[in-house]
Amino acid sequence: MKLELKSKAETLSELKPILKSGEVAPLVYADVVSWEEDSEACIDLIQAKLKGKTVIVRSSAKAEDKSSESLAGAFLSIPFVDVSNRSELRNAVEKVISSYDDKKSSKDQFFVQEQVSEILLSGVVFTRDIDTCSPYYIVNYDDSTGSTDSVTSGQGKDLKTYLRFRSSPKKILDKRLEKLFICLKEIEEIYNRDDLDIEFAIDKNQTVFILQVRPIAFGGKKPIVIDKLLEDFLFKIHKKAQKLNRPHPGLYGRRGVYSVMTDWNPAEMIGIRPRKLALSLYKDLITDNTWAYQREEYGYKRLRGFPLLVSFLELPYIDVRASLSSFIPNALGEELSHKLVDYYTERLLEHPSDHDKVEFNIIFSCYDFNIHEKIKNLQNFGFSELELERLKFSLLNLTNEVIKEHYGLCQQDLDKISELDRRYHEITRSDMSTVDKIYWLIEDCRRFGTLPFAGLARAGFIAVQMLRSMTATGLLTEEDYQNFLNSLDTVARQLSNEYSAYQKNKTTKAAILQKYGHLRPGTYDILSLRY
């Protein structure tokens, strides 16, 4: 039996008797006109149909059933109403109707439904992506508050999202969601469409209750998507990821992980959908070779030849296994190196929100004043005292080589960067062809720009780690820490000072543009307008 989507109340009423894999709680609906003409008769009907029940009074306004615009959560619902109390019931209905205010229509309805209780999980499912119409199920849900409207009201704090490709062969591991998807498939068949916006709740008995079914509001013309083409693309990505995840004698760890922000943060630097030239420049200047060369120079494992950035259909991802391997001190043996990368990987998978804070929250890449406390936790994951001592000693030696006063690695990189400006002017003023100039400018940018910059960024990270550890151990107060950072003469501060000087006629606009005029929001995107 195929149904047509109607108002919220009518849709649920028609769905209730035929849905097999889920439930629609008992309900009674009426139009607003009938209520205004004879509210007593409406109350009599509601009390007769839902006798002895705790109910929720819900909206079913004409305005919220449009396919062009979603008004989810725009109108009032009054939960936990005692149906036997006529006054309480009347007040609840009046409040719901009043919430329609300037969007009132003669076709507006309301309905009273048995309150679903002992909620285990609730949320909203889009059976296609609401922006692109791509064939993904997107489940936004709350499994902590027991509320049925924490998602639709926008007030939920610990919400979760589950995404699933429509044709995915993978088993759904969460039994609660597995039952939900069985119900979703049935509803799609009942309405003979796969672009649905469905509210649901699952109780402690794992019964799936459907609270609303309506078309996805695409906000305009529905995007055209060729599902089979997208499926073919995903299959290619899957095959590539499988190939990249195989064990490699030059990498540590048993499995691969990919992130858009870990290590050199491509999501921030070039965006998650960069233009081809921006992606090519970023790879050539940093993530193909420079990143690994710098790490090795600073005493970490040799990863030359391994690209840090992998693109899946032109979308840039960081190979986290390569990144984690590159932060292992070169002095450590193979067994301990594998063990550390596996530990780091598992920590990251347990705390994916740390994918942009790996160096602060996951790995040990330098020595600091709190290192003894920080690595204690490794003993809970099978690391021996001897292994911890080896790790600490290797980090100590590595860190000293970076920061030592007399021509440490940090100072060497500062000297290299000072060469860049001179070489830039030599090349741009030469008689070389434009193509040759581009080649040598990129070559010098890599050798005297991004390479030493990568080293100085590492030294800066070590400095911040040391400052943080001094705060953690009580050597500095938090105020001391902030005061020190605020005292640094950063590029942003220099620019601010020079702009102030310009406003006081102490420098010229041309001088400022000569120094800062190349800056643009997308550093690697030549189509991004300069500031």
Q: Is 431 inside a domain boundary?
A: no
Residues in the chain where the model's pLDDT stays below 50: none
Number of domain units in the chain: 4
Q: Is 435 inside a domain boundary?
A: no
- Whether residue 32 sits in one domain with residue 11: no
One-letter amino acid for residue 18 of the chain: I
- Whether residue 300 sits in one domain with residue 260: yes
The whole-number pLDDT of residue 72 equals 66
The whole-number pLDDT of residue 148 equals 77
Classified as helix, coil or strand, 310 is strand
- Whether residue 149 sits in one domain with residue 21: yes
What is the reported pTM? Answer: 0.77
- Whether residue 210 sits in one domain with residue 130: yes
DSSP 329: B
The domain boundary residue, chosen from 356, 377, 404:
404
What mean pLDDT is reported for the chain?
A: 92
- Whether residue 269 sits in one domain with residue 162: no
Sheet holding 54-60, edge to edge: 27-31, 109-114, 54-60, 78-82
Rounded Cα–Cα distance for residues 266 and 320 (Å): 13
Q: 126-161: string of b/e by CB count within 10 Å (b at 16+)? A: bbbbbeebebbbbbbbbbeebbbbbbbeeebeebee
Q: 369-398: string of b/e by CB count within 10 Å (b at 16+)? A: bbbeeebeebeeeebeeebbebbbebbeeb
Rounded Cα–Cα distance for residues 67 and 17 (Å): 25
The domain boundary residue, chosen from 80, 115, 150:
115
The whole-number pLDDT of residue 379 equals 93
- Whether residue 315 sits in one domain with residue 169: no
Listed in sequence order, the residues at least 6 apart from 67 whose beta carbon sits closer than 8 Å to its beta carbon are 214, 215, 216, 217, 218
Q: Is 330 inside a domain boundary?
A: yes
Q: Is 342 inside a domain boundary?
A: yes
Domain membership of residue 271 as a residue range? 253-404
Element (H, E) at 417: helix 409-428
- Whether residue 40 sits in one domain with residue 149: no
- Whether residue 370 sits in one domain with residue 305: yes
Q: Is 5 inside a domain boundary?
A: yes
- Whether residue 188 sits in one domain with residue 259: no
The whole-number pLDDT of residue 1 equals 66
Contact 271, 311 (CB under 8 A): no
- Whether residue 391 sits in one domain with residue 320: yes
161-199 residue pLDDT tens: 999 999 998 899 999 999 999 999 999 999 999 999 999
Q: Is 291 inside a domain boundary?
A: yes
- Whether residue 258 sits in one domain with residue 355: yes
The domain boundary residue, chosen from 357, 384, 404:
404
Q: Is 475 inside a domain boundary?
A: no
The whole-number pLDDT of residue 103 equals 67
Rounded Cα–Cα distance for residues 341 and 339 (Å): 6
The domain that holds 84 is classified in CATH as 3.30.1490
The domain that holds 194 is classified in CATH as 3.30.470.20
Q: Is 375 inside a domain boundary?
A: yes
The whole-number pLDDT of residue 67 equals 60
- Whether residue 55 sits in one domain with residue 16: no
Supply φ then ψ for residue 398, to 5 degrees. -60, -45
The whole-number pLDDT of residue 220 equals 66
The whole-number pLDDT of residue 152 equals 67
